[in-house]
Amino acid sequence: MGRIARSSNGRTRPSEGCYLGSSPSLATSDFVNKVCDIRGMKNTIVYDKAKYHYEGDFPKDLPIEQGFVHTGMFLGWMIEHDLYNQDFFQEIGLTDAVTGFKKREITGTKVYEELDGSLTDEDLNEEGNRFAQYYFDFSKGEYQHDYAKELVGDLPTIYHVKDTWENYDKISRVITKRYEKWKGKKWWKFF
């Protein structure tokens, strides 16, 4: 079983897991499952961690918080469409953050910061996880491409996108279209 890290805000998060998305190795799902089996770990899927970005090839002139924005917007969309794990958010004390997001008092990026910059399968419900594995996976999903196409434009990097409701609304429309297309696929096409 993976170690559990306690953050400065008192929440516990997996400090290691079975990586998907922007993991250090950008591993494939098959590889992820094999590694998890070998380690005897719970098959925790780590979709993204902000530290992969701000500790990596990250612009020196930007605040670390900019490394949270792209995943925060995705998480916000998942919350808006009730694809997050409501029980888990209640258990870790984030119901006020969800309410704040839904009232547009705080952005999805701020909720992602409350999750210690770690988006895992624990944060999403069953349908949310299926969609995230299809769309958000950085090695084969379309989210990163859609985010860059819709929001980056002439900006130097994805990290320069501002965490605004206007930007969220733009990417939200794209995610919604991708979700509706995904929902229209037959279940047997995934196996």
Q: Would you say residue 2 has pLDDT above 60?
A: no
Q: Both tokens of residue 146?
A: 């859609």
- 3-class SS at 22? coil
Would you report the helix, strand and coil content of the chain in percent, each value rounded to 5? 55, 10, 35
The pLDDT tens digits of the residues spanning 71-108 come to 999 999 999 999 999 999 999 999 999 999 999 999 99
What is the pLDDT, as a whole number, of residue 189?
52
- What is the reported pTM? 0.78
- Summarised one tens digit per residue, pLDDT across range 47-61 is 999 999 988 889 999
Over residues 125-144, mean pLDDT = 94
pLDDT band at 139 (very low <50, low <70, confident <90, very high): confident
Residue 186: the pLDDT is: 52
| 61: enclosing H helix or E strand | none
Per-residue pLDDT band at 34 (split at 50, 70, 90): very low
User: What are the backbone dihedrals phi and psi of residue 54, each rounded to the nearest 5 degrees, phi first?
Assistant: -75, -15
